[in-house]
Amino acid sequence: MDLDPDLAALRPLGPFFALRTPPGQPGEPAPVLPTLASAYRVTPGNEAPDIHGDPLGFRVRKVTASLRAPEDRIGASVAQLGLAARLWAVTLGCAVLYGSVPDLAPALLRWDPDATAPDDLWLTAVRARPGDAATVAATVLDGHLEPLCAALRARHRLAPGLLRGNAGSALAGAARQLDVWAHAHGRADVAARARALTAELFTHPFLADTGTLLAGTRTSAGTAFRRRSCCLYYRVPGGGVCGDCCFTRPPRSSPRAPSG
């Protein structure tokens, strides 16, 4: 199936999968928002990051404040996890439903760092690419998560294993949501493609040691995940641990999570 201009097949999957495309006539500009390319540029920290001058710094501050987190690195981890979840959901959903994925080059994606979750993304042009694992990995990992991780590590005390663990957790979460939807709608073919593609993606060096795909239940076989690191959410007031965390209960004393 060819990609349609609105990527309409993603909408029934939920807000983490849906992707905005330019309204109106082809070529009409998207809203005046920063691109993800601008967000990944490593810029010196400042006291008042703004949406256009420092979109990534603005997002981290917003998430940190929303969570009432005691330090910015917790907000940075959660912000990265949220953006990774959106990128994986769009590419994985397109790959299994259309058989191809849109070109999600950072310069083509506009992002509203002031939006609530899930991250608000606008694709300025829909250009089809193959839906194989190598292309999906290049689209999400090479194009987005590696430069995003580099930008966050330049500003915050975040271990590489933690950020890679977030990427693995986000991929497994997107696959799990897609698997549940597929079973609920009698699309065993979609579920099988999602599981196979996810398993292949987890062989990529960036993801290979981030955790373990588990047998799971009848509807989540091959998409349940146990990560080897922690996203730091337990340090948010009242946060606790996530369902795939390496911890079974919040650590009592260590301020640093394992790097994985």
What is the secondary structure of the chain as a DSSP string? -PPPTT-GGGGGG-TTT--B---SSTTPPPPS--BHHHHTS-----SS--TTT-HHHHHHHHHHHHHT-SSHHHHHHHHHHHHHHHHHHHHHHHHHHTSEEE---TTTEEEETTS-SSPEEEES---EEE-SHHHHHIIIIIIIIHHHHHHHHHHS---HHHHHHHHHHHHHHHHHHHHHHHHHTT-HHHHHHHHHHHHHHTTSTTTTTSEEEE---TTTTTTEEEESS--SGGGSTT----TT-S-SS--SS-SS----
pTM of model > 0.75: yes
In a domain, 230, yes or no: yes
Q: Is the pLDDT of residue 214 over 90?
A: no
Examine residue 249 and state whether it is found in any structural domain, yes or no: no
Number of structural domains found in the chain? 1
Q: Is residue 80 part of a domain?
A: yes
45-63 pLDDT per residue, tens: 555 678 888 999 999 999 9
In a domain, 240, yes or no: no
- The per-residue pLDDT for range 108-149, each reduced to its tens digit, is 999 999 999 999 999 999 999 999 999 999 999 999 999 999
66 assigned to some structural domain:
yes
Residue 28: inside a domain: yes
Range of the domain at 98: 8-235
Is 160 among the domain residues? yes
* pLDDT at res. 257: 44
